[in-house]
Chains A and B, each alone.
Chain A
Amino acid sequence: MSNLKGRNLISITDFSKEEYIQVLDIAEGFEKNPKQKILSDKVIATLFFEPSTRTRLSFESAANQLGARIIGFSDPGGTSVQKGESLHDTIVMVSSYSDLIVMRNPKEGSSRYASEVATVPVINAGDGANQHPTQCMLDLYSIRKTQGTLENLNIACVGDLKYGRTVHSLVQAMCNFNATFHLVSPEELKLPSSVKMSIKDAGLKYYQYTDIRDIVPVADIIYMTRVQRERFPDPMEYERVKDSCILTASMLKGCKDTMRVLHPLPRVNEITVDVDSTPYAYYFRQAQNGVYVRQALMAAILGVK
């Protein structure tokens, strides 16, 4: 039994290194045997104040496979929220109807606040541009699964490193595991200095690049993210840099055999489809791993694992 019973998961820093590993170990068990009716007496509320495909379906699939009942909404239209009910009141009410709340809300910090108001544990399924810790947990799971370890790896992050919250969380989490970071982005979308500071504070190294080809031979993991056109005030600037962050199958010549490409999805054009059929593509499997990791988190927090 883990010591995570009754805990909230709001930010990636809420769990220690040992606790991440504990969750990954439990998730491995679910990967081997995902259909265990261990939550059949539990009600899980999934409150999605903004639309989400993968995260919501993944949580609901995870809960269903464990036999839990699900209540909630996939967008606030038609609910009391649309009538102007406060987040506070919604959470107080839902607390009395459920054993665990999974929440996505566009307001940053909303999940932390919900966890202070709720009488049941809260899992953050994304609070605006702030945190999305279960994505980070499934990234860690996928890295450990493909590399056999989380320690001493060369992690390359590519694309929008400035605004991409998944990259920020991944970098912070991997700082616990003696990683070396290779950061590939257009000049305008470099990793924020506060995140670089976490790397330095951990006594680790990072290198910055503008061309993806430079990191292919050294990387154990290439973590791709989407460069969004709307981040660029000048469309010409976007046109100039956009190809520097597109990964094609031909670029992967010379990579390590064990290297795997990860992406939080949805993909647009930053990984060309010819990569999908290479042995290096792992992003769809990565999304599947999300179910096991969310099963592990729900089971541990509800005290049955």
Chain B
Amino acid sequence: METKKELTVSAIENGTVIDHIPTTALFQVIHILGLENYKEEVLIGNNLDSKKIDHKGIIKIKNKHFSKEEISRIALVAPYATIINIENYSVVDKFQTEVPEHIERFVKCANPKCITNAEAVPTKFDVVDKENLKLKCHYCEKFTTKETLTFIR
């Protein structure tokens, strides 16, 4: 218990804390953000007790702030995760991830016959169901879902 407490509260001087990640999505978030190759300090915790969700994952990344697009990517696998931006040990910004209305470029269309999988066409989707994650391809009009979601890196 002591260790857990220390991990969740240990502060970073500058960087980002991603909190309230569903435990099943933690490793996906790491992969999406490419943290496997990040050279600075990264603290990762999983299956931690949470007041907000049953159990949670948390990631603290030193000296790194994320773009809007990177946050959108996280939102697709970890909706309602909390993003906390830290500068000089203080919280400068704190917000929840939210699945956007439109997604461009970073998700692959699940339809193998779609033109975006045949030619160098940037993908575009309308999010038709944020809760269950259902994306409608702007081109082939087929759906990509949580089960068929793949990111373009």
Do the two shown chains form a genuine complex with each other? yes
Query: A residues touching B (Cβ–Cβ < 8 Å)?
Result: 11, 86-88, 105-110, 112-113, 127-131, 194
Q: How far is the CA of A105 from the CA of B140 in the complex (A)?
A: 12
Known: A108-B139, A113-B116, A131-B141. 6 other contacts (CB 8 A): A105-B115, A106-B113, A108-B111, A109-B114, A109-B116, A109-B141
Chain B, Cβ-Cβ closest to A114? B115
User: Is B139 in contact with A112, judged by CB distance below 8 angstroms?
Assistant: yes
Would you call B152 an interface residue if the criterion is a C-beta within 8 Å of the partner chain's C-beta atoms? no
User: Is A109 in contact with B137, judged by CB distance below 8 angstroms?
Assistant: yes
User: Is A108 in contact with B121, judged by CB distance below 8 angstroms?
Assistant: no
User: Is B114 in contact with A107, judged by CB distance below 8 angstroms?
Assistant: yes
Contact check: which of B111, B119, B139 meets A86 at CB < 8 Å?
A: B119
User: Is B119 in contact with A109, judged by CB distance below 8 angstroms?
Assistant: no
User: Is B113 in contact with A88, judged by CB distance below 8 angstroms?
Assistant: no
| Minimum distance in angstroms from A239 CB to a CB of chain B | 29
Q: Which residues of B contact A106 (CB under 8 A)?
A: 113
Interface size for B (C-beta < 8 A) is 17
A-B contact count (CB 8 A): 54
| Minimum distance in angstroms from B121 CB to a CB of chain A | 5
Q: Which residues of A contact B119 (CB under 8 A)?
A: 86-88, 107, 113
User: Is B138 in contact with A108, judged by CB distance below 8 angstroms?
Assistant: no
Would you call B55 an interface residue if the criterion is a C-beta within 8 Å of the partner chain's C-beta atoms? no
| Minimum distance in angstroms from A79 CB to a CB of chain B | 16
Would you call B118 an interface residue if the criterion is a C-beta within 8 Å of the partner chain's C-beta atoms? yes
Interface string of B60-98 (1 = CB under 8 A from A): 000000000000000000000000000000000000000
Q: Which residues of A contact B143 (CB under 8 A)?
A: 194
Q: How far is the CA of A224 from the CA of B138 in the complex (A)?
A: 30
Q: How far is the CA of A110 from the CA of B142 in the complex (A)?
A: 13
Chain A, Cβ-Cβ closest to B139? A109
| Minimum distance in angstroms from B11 CB to a CB of chain A | 48
Q: How far is the CA of A105 from the CA of B121 in the complex (A)?
A: 15
User: Is B115 in contact with A113, judged by CB distance below 8 angstroms?
Assistant: yes
| Minimum distance in angstroms from A37 CB to a CB of chain B | 36
User: Is A110 in contact with B115, judged by CB distance below 8 angstroms?
Assistant: yes
Q: How far is the CA of A110 from the CA of B111 in the complex (A)?
A: 13
